Amino acid sequence: MECCVIGTGYVGLVTGTCLAALGHDVTCVDKDRDKIAALEKAEMPIFEAELEGLVSQGLSSGNLRFSTDILSAARSSEFVFITVPTPSDGGGHADLSYVDDVARTIASAIQDYKVVINKSTVPVGSTKRVQRIIEESMEEYHEFDVVSNPEFLREGSAVSDFMKPARVVIGSDSQKAIMRMTELYRGVDAPLLVTDPVSAEMIKYASNAFLATKVSFINAIANICEVVGADVREVSLGMGYDERIGFEFLKAGPGFGGSCFPKDCRALLMIARENGYDFDLLEGVLKVNDEQQERMVAKIKVLVGDLEGAKIGILGLAFKANTDDLRDSPAMNITRMLVMGGARVTAYDPQAMENAAAQLESVAFAGNAYEVAEGADALVLLTEWDEFKWLDYERVKGIMRCPLIIDTRNCLDPAVLRKLGFAYEGVGR
Ligand code: UGA
């Protein structure tokens, strides 16, 4: 089936590549010429496991192409995916200008039946908005349908999330579009939920907001655990065995970040407010999240005595492991707060350092974790990269000025570290 994917950001690139791997004929388009030129050589703009190999496969099989010509790619495809960014406009609203521009371009490409699929995270009601923009921009009417098909990919496991999702959600009022979408996703083994467009859009926001709520909930529990002397990891485990709760998204840490949870929670708050509902619970989720990052800094401050002049080593800057994404990263926020507090900070991240260097002033960057530890008064683990779990901590202790580890991801073994002579501090344990 002929597909065109407009926008080669995270979602677009993964969607297009995976559709090609399923055997569809896919053209991924973007107006960024340099990006398209790089992708034609299978050079990745992002770090994402499995993606590079699949792009190379798609290019050599001929199922996957890259182009800057949106109009002709859309014209020759039955399925046109919109996967452009919807950044926050600062006030909590999603900025829909990219989506609107693409809708106008698609209007001039429609000459025979097309299914236009919105995968960008858009406010409730946007499917109808895209439908209206296309209708108004068409010179001559041709049949088309607009479908909401939210994505649930996680950075770091995006390819497997696409191929083996928990569900595929199709929001449409058109029987014809639903049939075509069902055919398109035939190779994906997952329950298919067919619903109306507004409910599909709401499913996306509600899912992210609920997962963010779980994270803030467990962080709040972690803070209580610290006071009463419980271990939040044991508490999460004990809760998770109850299938109604589940084990996922109950890891306490420095707070949630990334391009989705903070932005989508703020957008949902706004949608609720504009519809006359004060979503106090979600407001609390964001408040706990902001405070959690500040709590990490306060904890470090107490442990090192005084931030002013303290030499602090940072392990990890990405918002979570297995990605180079720094958007709304708690690690970046905490690092900035430490610098503002007067600390001398050296940082290392296996993938995100190049991007971080452009954003962080007054931070030195190291080539590996051991260089970060050299002469440090404290080592602060902020992103749970596997390589930090398997460091030679005996060597680390030997090169630090003061053997203190603050593990904001609870991913190290306190007993082992304490035996080696470290002072160890986790979150909620
Ligand atoms: C999230 C959702 O999980 C995806 O389903 C969704 O498609 C995506 O947003 C999106 O809307 O595009 P992602 O932002 O890649 O995916 O990251 P997550 O793995 O969900 O983690 C989000 C944040 O929560 C991270 O900062 C992570 O460290 C934090 N987290 C997660 C915790 O602190 N504890 C946990 O137990 C789980």
Residues recognised as catalytic: 260
276 and 147 in a single domain? The answer is no
The pLDDT of residue 49 is 84
Domain count, the chain: 2
182-215: per-residue pLDDT in tens? 999 999 999 999 999 999 999 999 999 999 999 9
Question: In what order do the strands lie in the sheet containing 423-425?
Answer: 363-365, 344-348, 311-315, 378-381, 404-407, 423-425
**Which of 50-59, 118-127, 244-253 is the least confident region?**
118-127
85 and 138 in a single domain? The answer is yes
Q: Give the DSSP letter of residue 408.
A: T
CA distance 70 to 48: 25
The pLDDT of residue 47 is 85
**What percent of the chain is predicted at pLDDT more than 90?**
93
83 and 157 in a single domain? The answer is yes
Is pLDDT above 90 for 288? yes
Q: What is the DSSP string of 138-207?
A: -SS---EEEEE------TTSHHHHHHS-S-EEEE-S-HHHHHHHHHHTTTS-S-EEEE-HHHHHHHHHHH
The pLDDT of residue 238 is 98
Confidence of residue 3 (pLDDT cuts 50, 70, 90): very high
Q: Which of these three, 163, 194, 225, is where a domain ends?
A: 194
**What percent of the chain is predicted at pLDDT more than 70?**
100
Confidence of residue 371 (pLDDT cuts 50, 70, 90): very high
Q: Which of these three, 145, 177, 194, is where a domain ends?
A: 194
66 and 207 in a single domain? The answer is no
Domain at 165, CATH number: 3.40.50.720
Domain that holds residue 67: 2-194
Q: What is the DSSP string of 368-398?
A: SHHHHHTT-SEEEE-S--HHHHTS-HHHHHH
338 near 309, Cβ under 8 Å?
A: no
The ligand 1 atom nearest the CA atom of 150: 7
12 and 148 in a single domain? The answer is yes
Decide: 403 in ligand 1 pocket, CB within 6 A.
no
Decide: 250 in ligand 1 pocket, CB within 6 A.
yes
The pLDDT of residue 346 is 98
Q: What are phi and psi of 171, to 5 degrees?
A: -110, 110
Burial 369-395 (b: 16+ CB within 10 A, else e): bbbbbeebbbbbbbbbbeebeebebee
What residues contact residue 228 under an 8 Å CB cut-off, 6+ apart?
none
87-140: per-residue pLDDT in tens? 887 777 888 999 999 999 999 999 999 999 999 888 889 999 999 999 999 999
Tokens of 307: 């931030």
309 and 346 in a single domain? The answer is yes
Tokens of 248: 């996922």
Q: Which of these three, 178, 194, 210, is where a domain ends?
A: 194
75 and 200 in a single domain? The answer is no
Q: Give residue 151 CA to ligand 1 midpoint distance, Å.
A: 13
203 and 186 in a single domain? The answer is no
189 and 41 in a single domain? The answer is yes
